[in-house]
Amino acid sequence: MKRKIKFLDLGAVNEPLMEQLVEAASGVVRSGWYINGENVKALEQELAQYCSTECAVAVSNGLDALRLIIRAYIELGAMQPGDEVIVPANTYIATVLAVTDNGLVPVLVEPDLVTMNLDPSLIERYITKRTRAIMPVHLYGTPCWSSQINELAQRYGLKIIEDNAQAIGAQAAVAGLNGTRVTGSLGHAAGLSFYPTKNLGALGDAGAVTTNDKELASVVRALANYGSDYRYHNVYCGLNCRMDEIQAAMLRVKLKHVDEENLRRANMAATYDTFINNPQVVKPAILPGCKQVWHQYVLRVEERGTFRAYLAENGIETDVLYPTPPHLQPCYIAQYGGASLPRTLALAGSVVSLPISVNVKEDEIQYICEIINKFHLK
Ligand SMILES: *Cc1c(COP(=O)(O)O)cnc(C)c1O
């Protein structure tokens, strides 16, 4: 029997919740209230509670969440155009776009090859008089955190802005705490994405800012609503970056299931980790003391093209996140293309994501492991 395992099938992912989603959507349609209504308000409370923060502001998407945080810090006088922000070189381009969109300068720092996240031990050498923030990205659902990041931020007076787009529900070990803390509450502010493919996916674009800083939250909220603090009163030259009621309603249904879905992903990752046993394939690290939420399960394979073609022949779809790092994209290459980032290039050239969405069955994961273990370069 020839198998066919899709990398991601969003219809199948949402199928178990279909009735609740349709009911919630029709509730919004019938309500006659489509922007800034009770679903957005309730979702903000539910997200703040879920992320253990004082505040959550629902916005239009993950990129806007990050750019609004930086813009709010500019309005508050904590940053200005020309200032520098430390970002991982190995990230999705939106992290970097949020910086340059505000006229700040991204300073690209290499990843740790084990975590694939920003290497905290390299940060300090990139700090200058103009550095204002560090942006850890919890890439693939693996928390990027260490006491070093916190200490550097305190010593140099930097903001920590988490890119939490891929890691809702992840937890990092926090020094001094006898335990862990959820991503989105580790730094001064964090951006979430609810792009449909994310662990908590809307049925369209959506995002949120989480923070314990009430002043920052109120500036973000105003900026996302034309810069208006109250009706027809504009304190900032703002934007329109609001979340729709209908997306908030979808997210309220799905937020209730995100923990059980993250657990399913963790079980799939554990199965891959136990059964994949091929010296030509490097598995992602399962890190002690934290909770990874496996937005992606990312192998490293030197002969990636051959490997992916072999899996495809066996009915297994894979993906590559991301084949080209931000500094080599046409929009950035003139400015940043000259940077020497060998670890980032090594990852871009070898990473491959296996299916890990919640609708994939345990026996399909087993089958993928068997096929991978039979991969040998001729
Ligand atoms: C998805 C993503 C974003 C952007 O989120 P959108 O909602 O698509 O705008 C930002 N950073 C990372 C790491 C992402 O994966």
pLDDT in tens, 109-165: 999 999 999 999 999 999 999 999 999 999 999 999 999 999 999 999 999 999 999
Provide the pLDDT for residue 85. Answer: 98
Q: Is the dihedral of CA 61, 67, 69, 72 positive or negative?
A: negative
- Ligand 1: distance of its center to the CA of 255 in Å? 18
Test site for ligand 1: of 8, 68, 92, most ligand atoms within 8 A of the Cβ:
92
307 lines ligand 1 (CB under 6 A): no
Long-range (24+ apart) CB contacts under 8 A made by 327-331 are 327/89, 327/108, 329/93
The secondary structure of the chain, three-state, reads CCCCECCCCHHHHHHHHHHHHHHHHHHHHHHCCCECCHHHHHHHHHHHHHCCCCEEEEECCHHHHHHHHHHHHHHCCCCCCCCEEEEECCCCHHHHHHHHCCCCEEEEECECCCCCCECHHHCHHHCCCCEEEECCECHHHCCCCCHHHHHHHHHHCCEEEEECCCCCCCEEECCCCCCEEECCCCCCEEEEECCCCCCCCCCCCCEEEEECCHHHHHHHHHHCECCEEECCEECCCCCECCCEHHHHHHHHHHHCCHHHHHHHHHHHHHHHHHHCCCCCCECCCCCCCCECCCCCEEEECCCHHHHHHHHHHCCECCECCCCCCHHHCCCCHHHHCCCCCHHHHHHHHHEEEECCCCCCCHHHHHHHHHHHHCCCCC
User: In which residue are the tokens 């949120």 written?
Assistant: 208
Q: Which residue, by CA, sits nearest to atom 2 of ligand 1?
A: 165
Provide the pLDDT for residue 377. Answer: 76
Provide the pLDDT for residue 192. Answer: 98
Provide the pLDDT for residue 179. Answer: 86
Strand-pairing partners, residue 35, are: 244
Angle at alpha carbon of residue 237, lines to 234 and 240, rounded to 5°: 90
Provide the pLDDT for residue 378. Answer: 60
Provide the pLDDT for residue 303. Answer: 95
Test site for ligand 1: of 117, 166, 199, most ligand atoms within 8 A of the Cβ:
166
Provide the pLDDT for residue 83. Answer: 98
Q: Which parts of the chain have pLDDT scores under 70?
A: 1, 378
- Ligand 1: distance of its center to the CA of 241 in Å? 15
Q: Which of 217, 214, 147 is nearest to 186 (CA)?
A: 147
Residue 166 tokens, joined: 């891929």
Q: Are 20 and 231 in contact (CB under 8 A)?
A: no
Provide the pLDDT for residue 175. Answer: 83
